[in-house]
Amino acid sequence: MSRHYLQPIAFASSPQAEEGETLRLAGGMVHASRFALLRREAGRVVSRERYSVPELRAALPALPDDARRQWDNLQRSHAPLQLGTRTLRLDQPQVMGILNVTPDSFSDGGEFLDRPDVASAHAAAMLEAGAAIVDIGGESTRPNAPAVWEGDELNRVIPIVERVAAMGAAISIDTRRPAVMEAAIAAGAHLFNDVSALRHDPRSLGFAAASGVPVVLMHAPGEGEDLHANAAYADVVLDVFDWLAERRDAAIAAGIAREKIVLDPGIGFGKSLADNLALLNALPLFHALGQPLLVGASRKRLIGALSGEAPANQRLGGSIALAMKAMDAGVQVLRVHDVPETVQALRVWRGLRDAALTDFVHLPA
């Protein structure tokens, strides 16, 4: 059986740069001008054809059904997510600030565990700096992290969720356990961010559907406690694409509304340096799934691997570079540790995009 993938491969600063012959990706601020249509059989790419936008439009009637669906998905605009009283627009990048309440996070090393005043002050600072969402988690998912008892996770995150909810913030709960999801929603959370894509507990899909809460489904190859296990790919980009499509479809079949599903390729989870770089370079392809995208590459191991083994707290430059890469790909949500710096980068990026839209070239009559 053949599968097809419609990948944006060239971009324009604005539609007028290509005299209107571009596609606006996902209703956002990124414009694609050329595409590659890949055909895959038995896990292997067997053909690659390139098209401009006019050429692709002309070819569409003869293309396979999955390619036509992906063309529609690439230009699908996403309605805002309603998170409590907050509205999260998805026509431009948004920043999700990370608040880990764990003893063994790879980045903050337990800075906020058992220190609710410090944790809530950090959340307030991220919100003031421009974070649209605060993502609160009580379990480290770094490689070889020990399992966390559900009761400990609840004790860590629920008091912080309550404090941050009192600020009027939009809150994501980073968990893979339905009991934590349920308690967090009752405490004021608005979004489930599940690194297991609702696979860790068989009750998760049904609970998420019944709650009506938006969900983030992240790719990770492992199925049990170790999310990094079983990492074997024929082609990491296309394998992750297919996996996310299957999880999206499973979520919809379980009763989760399509417009409430966000997808995350899972940078750093069961992936080598080469795998991560391939995924980051191919991010525009993932709009062909027809869902908003979240990318969390902040301070991750790949930055250290490319920068003389810089420790996690010295990876700001690399984190900003990867955030800009995600913005250039049209990613809607950036999950980051360094909120003020990322928001500043985003505002400069947005200014450049806005200027390009009005930067007409006037030819002589």
What is the number of structural domains in the chain?
A: 2
Rounded-to-integer distance, Cα 6 and Cα 75, Å: 12
Q: Which residue is catalytic, options 163, 199, 260, 335?
A: 335
Q: How confident is the model at residue 357 (pLDDT cuts 50, 70, 90)?
A: confident
Asked whether residue 255 is domain-assigned, the answer is yes
Same domain flag for 92 and 53:
no
**Co-location of 138 and 61 in the same domain:** no
Q: What percent of the chain has pLDDT over 70?
A: 95
362 assigned to some structural domain = no
In a domain, 52, yes or no: yes
- Is the pLDDT reported for residue 143 higher than 80? no
Query: How far apart are the C-alpha atoms of 99 and 116, rounded to whole Å?
Result: 11
What mean pLDDT do residues 126-141 have? 94
Residue 365 counted as domain residue: no
Strands 215-218 and 191-194: parallel
* 159-205 tens-digit pLDDT: 999 999 999 999 999 999 999 999 999 999 999 999 999 999 999 99
Q: Are residues 118 and 40 both part of a single domain?
A: no
Decide if 363 is inside a domain. Answer: no
88 and 68 belong to one structural domain? no
Question: Residues 107, 137: one domain?
Answer: yes
Kindly state whether residues 207 and 228 are assigned to the same domain: yes
Q: Which of 260, 299, 300, 353 is catalytic?
A: 300
Q: Please state, as a whole number, how many other Cβ atoms lie within 10 Å of the Cβ of residue 54.
A: 11
CA distance linking residue 158 with residue 165, whole number of Å: 10
Asked whether residue 70 falls in the same domain as residue 130, the answer is no
Last residue of a domain, one of 30, 48, 74: 74
Given a cut of 80, is residue 74 above it in pLDDT?
Answer: yes
- Half-sphere CA count of 101, side-chain side, radius 13 A: 28
Is the Cβ–Cβ distance between 265 and 244 less than 8 Å?
yes
Cβ(97)–Cβ(205) under 8 Å? no
List the domain range (segments joined by +) for residue 234. 81-353
Check whether residue 67 and residue 113 sit in a common domain. no
Q: Are residues 13 and 93 in the same domain?
A: no
Q: What is the CATH number of the domain that holds 85?
A: 3.20.20.20
Q: Is 211 exposed, middle or buried (0-12, 13-18, 19+ CB in 10 A)?
A: middle
Q: Are residues 68 and 111 in the same domain?
A: no
Q: Is 335 among the residues known to form the active site? A: yes
* Nearest Cα to Cα of residue 266 among 236, 291, 311: 236
**Claim to verify: residue 138 and residue 215 sit in the same structural domain:** yes
Query: In this predicted structure, which of 148-152, 240-244, 316-320 has the lowest mean pLDDT?
Result: 148-152
Residue 360 lies in a domain: no
* Residue 253 resides in a domain: yes
Residues 256 and 313 in one domain: yes
Let me know if residue 15 belongs to a domain: yes
260 is annotated as an active-site residue: no
